[in-house]
Structure 1
Amino acid sequence: MQTNLLSELASTDAGLEADRILRSCVHCGFCTATCPTYQLLGDELDGPRGRIYQIKSLLEGDEPTRTVQTHLDRCLTCLNCMTTCPSGVQYDKLLATGRELVEEQVQRPLTERLLRRVLRLVVPYPRRFTPLLKLGQSVRPLLPATLKAKLPDGGALGPLPQSRHRRRVLMLENCVEPALTPAAVGAAIRVLDAAGIEVIRPGGGCCGAVSEHLAAGDEARGFMRRNIDAWWPYMAPDAADPAEAIVVTASGCGAMVKDYGHHLRDDPAYTHKAARVSELARDPAELLSAEDLARLPDPIARGVPQHIAFHPPCTLQHGQGLMGRVEGLLRAAGFELSPVRDAHSCCGSAGTYSILQAELSNQLRARKLEALEQGGPALIATANVGCQTHLAGGAEVPVVHWLELFDPAPAARRWQGLRADTSTQSAAA
């Protein structure tokens, strides 16, 4: 693709990167075939190729408009298009540049500005988010069905091990996961402990993804620096007993942490540290092997249903390139995975997207749940807190983090009850 960027942009690092990305696009259109919003709306401007053209026009001097902003807002950043693209176009980085450019020059309606501001002020901060969540859960029976669906019961954290191990990893303190799905956090720590891996929780907080998706790049980088400062004493070259990895249980956060090196590449104080963080970031599926899981109590013998469905989050398969990794671990452990049509497609969660673009998000969830539940699984497993809570809001069966299936904590009664309930539902059907 030929480009003619504005002179004031062409000499900047961001402009040079955007120019390189644009020139790598050959307008083949393969990306539209896997774009969820294009499939729903049928509008070229709501597909990756159309959005690339709109961003190119902005960078070449066209005036940003509310219409362009709307088309960029509708992108889920699921990155399906990047997996499909034969030319390796780094669409995610181009989209971030385009969104920030439009956000600076196009004023949103007041209601949108307020909602996005509230999301940025609440969601990344557990001390603000958790009390509001608990308040909502306390009055859940009184809420409309649409709000009830956004207030799931994510279980309990449970007892955490105090064991010391030779292998040590840091764990990201995700912003909403400990409040929304504490059972997933507890399961991750207990599974890693049983596999001989000690988990260190040094603090920090939100990975920065919420701010990044809301076109607040400087704010996102602030969260990144805070995390790096919290982690660095445990991963610096001169650390007495350095951690071998940074484990991130939510795949959405994992994709962001793995990109810290890119986001802070122009910050001299953090360039080296951020690159080191990106090198060490691991999803649990990368850290744990089938042999590690085989040393844990057999989940199926403990009452976990054998026939399940797995939803691979976009951030796991497209963002981190770990397509099929969790599925392989589950099959090795004896689980029977229900076939899922269009497993590559997005469930519609996409961070704050389910709030800001609720109609499109719910349409995508309905499609995804139809595919996941078609084979009659007893439960749905996934690897990201956003997907888990979003799907749970409309699913007919429980939705859990896949690590919960291997949790060695006494939970047989929970799974036995689930199996009985599922059998009852099947018989009734």
Structure 2
Amino acid sequence: MQTNLADFIRGTRDGDEADAILRKCVHCGFCTATCPTYQLSGDELEGPRGRIYLIKQVLEGRPATDKTQAHLDHCLTCRNCESTCPSGVQYGRLADIGRRVVEQQVARPARQRMLRTLLKETLPRRWLFTPALKVGQAVRPLLPQALKDKVPARQSAGVWPRTEHAHKMLFLEGCVQPAMSPNINAATARVFDAVGVQIVAANRAGCCGAIRWHMNDADGGRADMRRNIDAWWPYLEQGITTILINASGCGAMIKEYGHALADDPAYAAKAARVSAAAKDVSEVLPEFEARLRAKLRKRETGERVAYHPPCTLQHGQKIRGKVEDLLRAAGVDVRLCADSHLCCGSAGTYSVLHKEVSLRLRDDKLARLEATAPERIVSANIGCITHLQSGTDVPVEHWVELLDRALQ
């Protein structure tokens, strides 16, 4: 694709990156075949190819409009299109650049601004989100169904192992997960304890930065990244080599720290090291499969489970097949549903900002998952888990919780 960037962005880091990405696109349209929003609407501007043209026009100087903004907003950033692009177009990075430029040109309606500000200022702050969620849980029976779906019932945090192990790994607790589903982190700690690894959470680490970053607040997202790097750096300097992550959305963001902070002289090298150290749970546990098998003794549970691989795991981090293998090692009959590559509609704050599309994608995904007749559904990201559970009576949980019970 030929480009002629406007003066306002030509020669900048974003401009150079966007130009390189745009020039890779060959207009083939393979991306539209796997884009969830294009599949729903059939509108070219609701697919990656159309959005790429919109971004190109804005970067070449054509003023953005509210329609431009809406089409970019409707993108789930699932990055499914990247998995099917034969030219290696990094659409996710291009979308981030395009959205930030459009955000500077188009004023949002007051209601949109208020909602987006509420989300990006509340969700990343655990000290605000956790008490707010507890209030919601206390009055949950009185809430309308739409709000009740967003407020999970209270769960036990489970027992956190206290055994000291020589082998230690850093661990990201996250911002909303400890309040919404506290057993996920405790189950992760117990599983790694069973294979002789102690996971350590740095007190000052918090939100990974994805919420603000993907809502066009690059400065706020980078501030979250720097805070986490500062929290983890002493441990990395002491010799810990792995930052363990059990929420795939966070993992996809942390693996981008090196790119996001590449121009920051004080943090560029540290950010690159943090990104290299970041590992999803499913990347690390295969190293301990022999110990797991010894603990599990390979007994068949007879339990049929449907696994939903989050977009941030299979498309963002390019991790496929590892969760299924680990669950099969635990004797679980794990199934993938038809079109397992498609997004469930959660996509961070998307389910709040674009409810109608989000629910259509959720219901389509659940229909396919439930067609496998599962006793439970498992996934690898708190957003997907909460979103899917709001539409079904089949229990939905993190796959590591299932592995934890098998070990017990």
TM-score range, shorter chain: over 0.9
By how many angstroms is 1:297 displaced?
Answer: 4.3
Please state how far the C-alpha of 1:165 moved relative to its aligned partner: 1.4
Q: What's 1:354 paired with?
A: 351
Pairs within 5 Å for 1:241-390: 242-289=239-286, 290-297=289-296, 306-390=303-387
**Contact 1:338–1:376 under 8 Å retained in 2:** no
Shift of 1:333: 2.0
**Structure 1: how far apart are the matches of 2:188 and 2:254?**
18
Residue 159 of structure 2: aligned partner: 159
List aligned pairs for 1:29-68, cutoff 5 A. 29-68=29-68
Between stretches 47-56 and 157-166, larger displacement belongs to 157-166
Code of the aligned partner of 2:377: I
Counterparts in 2 of 1:300 and 1:251: CA distance versus 1, 3 Å: farther
Structure 1 position 338, deviation (Å)? 3.0
Distance in 1 (CA, whole Å) between partners of 2:315 and 2:389 is 22
Residue matched to 1:117? 117
Partner Cα separation in structure 2 for residue 47 and residue 342 of structure 1:
18
CA-atom RMSD, angstroms? 1.5
* Preserved contact between residue 327 and residue 403 of structure 2 (Cα < 8 Å): no
Q: Does 1:234 align with 2:231?
A: no
State the distance in 2 between where 1:260 and 1:277 align.
Answer: 7
In the other structure, the counterpart of 1:91 is: 91
Displacement of 1:243: 1.2
After superposition, the Cα gap between the structure-2 partners of 1:313 and 1:154, relative to the gap in structure 1 and judged at 3 Å, is: farther
Shift of 1:396: 2.4
Query: Does the CA-based 8 Å contact 1:191-1:408 persist in structure 2?
Result: no
Identify if the C-alpha distance between structure 1 residues 305 and 212 changes in structure 2 by more than 3 Å, giving closer, same or farther: farther
Q: Distance in 2 between matches of 1:369 and 1:398?
A: 12
The answer to whether the Cα contact below 8 Å between 1:299 and 1:406 also exists between their aligned partners in 2 is: no
Structure 1 SS opposite 2:163: coil
Distance 1:357 1:344 in 2: 21
Q: What is the TM-score when the length of structure 1 is the normalising length?
A: 0.92
> How many Å apart are 1:11 and its aligned residue?
1.1
Partner of 2:210: 209
> SS of the counterpart of 1:169?
strand
267-276 or 332-341: bigger deviation: 332-341
| Cα separation, partners in 2 of 1:137 and 1:298, compared to 1, 3 Å | farther
**Whole-Å separation in 1 of the counterparts to 2:74 and 2:16:** 26
1:224 match: 225
Q: Is the 2:209–2:221 contact (alpha carbons within 8 Å) kept by the matching residues of 1?
A: yes
**Unmatched 5+ stretches in structure 2:** none
Rounded to whole Å, the distance in 2 between the matches of 1:299 and 1:373 is 26
Match of 2:8, SS state, is helix
Task: Give me the whole-angstrom Cα distance separating, in 2, the residues matched to 1:256 and 1:198.
Answer: 24
1:197: Cα distance to partner? 0.8
Indicate how the Cα distance of structure 1 residues 184 and 299 shifts in structure 2: closer, same or farther if over 3 A, else same: farther
The letter of the residue matching 1:93 is R
Residue aligned with 1:308, SS:
strand
Tell me the amino acid that sits aligned with residue 10 of structure 2. A
| Deviation, structure 1 residue 293 | 2.6
Cα separation, 2, equivalents of 1:51 and 1:18: 13
- Displacement of 1:344 in angstroms is 0.4
For residue 170 of structure 2, give the secondary structure of its aligned residue in structure 1.
Answer: strand
SS of 1:288's equivalent in the other structure is helix
Aligned to 1:192: 192
After the TM superposition, which of the residue ranges 79-88 and 332-341 deviates more from structure 2? 332-341
Q: Distance in 2 between matches of 1:8 and 1:108?
A: 22
Structure 1 residue 8: Cα displacement? 3.4
**Which deviations, in whole Å up to 9, do the C-alpha atoms of 1:79-134 show, x marking residues without a partner?**
00000000000111110001111111111111100000000110000110011111
- Mapped contact 2:295–2:407 kept (Cα < 8 A): no
Amino acid at match of 1:222: A
1:31-87: per-residue Cα shift (whole Å, max 9, x none)? 000000000111100100000000000000000110000000000000000000000
Q: Secondary structure at the match of 1:400?
A: strand
Does the 8 Å contact 1:306/1:336 carry over to 2?
Answer: yes
Give the secondary structure class of the aligned counterpart of 2:262. coil
Question: Counterparts of 2:125 and 2:277 in 1: how far apart (Å)?
Answer: 24
Superposed CA deviations along residues 390-410 of structure 1, whole A, max 9, x for unmatched, are 001011200000000122599
Is 1:76 aligned with 2:73?
A: no
Q: Aligned with 1:10: secondary structure?
A: coil
SS in 2 for 1:50: helix
Deviations 1:366-400 (A, max 9, x none): 00000001121000010000000000101120000
Aligned to 1:416: none
Deviation (angstroms), 1:166: 2.1
- Asked whether the equivalents of residues 298 and 329 of structure 2 are also in contact (C-alpha less than 8 Å), the reply is no
**Cα gap change, 1:328 to 1:288, in 2 (>3 Å):** same
Identity over aligned pairs, percent: 54
| Displacement of 1:30 | 0.2
Provide closer, same or farther for how the CA distance between residues 63 and 372 of structure 1 changes in structure 2, counting only shifts above 3 A.
same
